[in-house]
Amino acid sequence: VALLAQVSVSTASRALSGGHYVAPPVRERVRAAATHVGYQPNEAARGLRTTRTMTIAVLTVGLRTLPFLDFLDGFGAHAEAAEYTVLLANARNSEQQYRFLVGRLFERRVDGLLLVNPGELHEAARPFQETARPVLAAFGRGPSNASIPLVTTAELDAVRQGMHRLKSLGHTSIAYFDQAVALQSSRPGYVARAAAECGIACRVAMTDPDADGGVIRHNLVNALAAPTPVTAVAVTHGLVPQFIDAVRSLGLKIPGDLSVFTFSDSALIDPLIEPRLAAVHNDLVEMGGRTAKILIDWICDGVEPANVTDLGLSSWREMPSLGWSRLSGG
């Protein structure tokens, strides 16, 4: 490019970047030459010089949850608007793979890292923290990761709302079904807490991430056969298909036999479920965008976010599955 425009590489570089301290005619000449040759800067080389790769990574433990795709959309949209490329690394439920990926990401010198639900995988982020590179956690984190700033849409209030509704409907014993994604989540904790606050007994049933329908069904049968049988169930999004399947195969009616609510509804599967499921709804697209902003601001301005940022994007969504139809005679 420099050759063609008959200037030095330094001048060319200046013309192509800011364009300051370059005579306008020269600048135009360089730019014309650049487009003519189809010049594309080499980001890697630039990164080497500036020590900034303009890349941020999202490290996830699994990619199969629909709501997370919403999050990714929001995150990606904001990141790209800020000229950042996002590298999506998926550990596919393997701790080993997770550690391996952190290494790769570090090698690539990504400018920032987002850990999605890192649970107790704390050694993982250490290389980043040691080099003072921004690392953020989203959704949840284990106690040992308490030093990693967390972005969350605290669901507790919405969960409380749901519990109050259950209480007012007369429920006193419920169950919460979740997946133990090789990582610890804090949700079972506050679900149980919110239930307790309302004087509702809550049994938590955790299953393997790859548990089949049989396991869920088994858990459901157990919950219904307990000394104080469960009359309502809260179920995490990823387990909804197996759960609904179990409910049907047992011949149970929602909400006739069981009130049900879920977390993070998804337009992709919700229309398939009759009746519609009440939910702790999260605006995940928005959360994604806000999370990207926090991370990028940290990278650019060096302002470390608060230890926990509550985006307040959760809300309670009432639906017939809770018992509404029964009470209102609808």
Partner DNA sequence: CTGAAAGCGCTTACAG
Which chain residues interact with a second copy by CB under 8 A? Answer: 38, 40-45, 47-48, 53, 55, 63-64, 66, 69, 72-73, 76-77, 80, 85-90, 92, 97, 100-101, 103-104, 106-109, 127, 130, 213, 240-242, 244-245, 248, 267-274
Structure tokens at 41: 């800067």
Minimum distance from residue 108 beta carbon to a second copy (Å): 5
Among 35, 38, 49, 267, binds DNA (CB under 7 A): 49
By CB under 7 A, residue 85 contacts DNA = no
By CB under 7 A, residue 34 contacts DNA = no
Q: Is the dihedral of CA 192, 319, 243, 174 positive or negative?
A: positive
Minimum distance from residue 110 beta carbon to a second copy (Å): 10
Binding partner selected for residue 24 from DNA, a second copy, none, CB under the kind-specific 5 to 8 Å limit: DNA
* Rounded CA separation 311/286 (Å): 9
- In the complex with a second copy, the residue whose CB is nearer, 75 or 139, is 75
By CB under 7 A, residue 50 contacts DNA = yes
- Of 145-174, which residues contact DNA (CB under 7 A)? none
- Cα-to-chain-centroid distance, residue 145: 16
Name the CA dihedral angle for 265, 267, 273, 278, rounded to a multiple of 10 degrees: 30
How many other C-beta atoms are found inside a 10 Å radius of the C-beta of residue 275? 15
Angle (CA) 291 293 297, round 5°: 125
* Rounded CA separation 187/165 (Å): 19
Minimum distance from residue 168 beta carbon to a second copy (Å): 29
- Residues 6 or more apart in contact with residue 144 via CB below 8 angstroms: 120, 122
Angle between helices 187-197 and 156-168 (to 10 degrees): 40
By CB under 7 A, residue 254 contacts DNA = no
Minimum distance from residue 277 beta carbon to DNA (Å): 51
By CB under 7 A, residue 303 contacts DNA = no
Residues that bind DNA (CB under 7 A): 7-11, 13-14, 16-17, 21-24, 26-27, 40-42, 45-46, 48-51
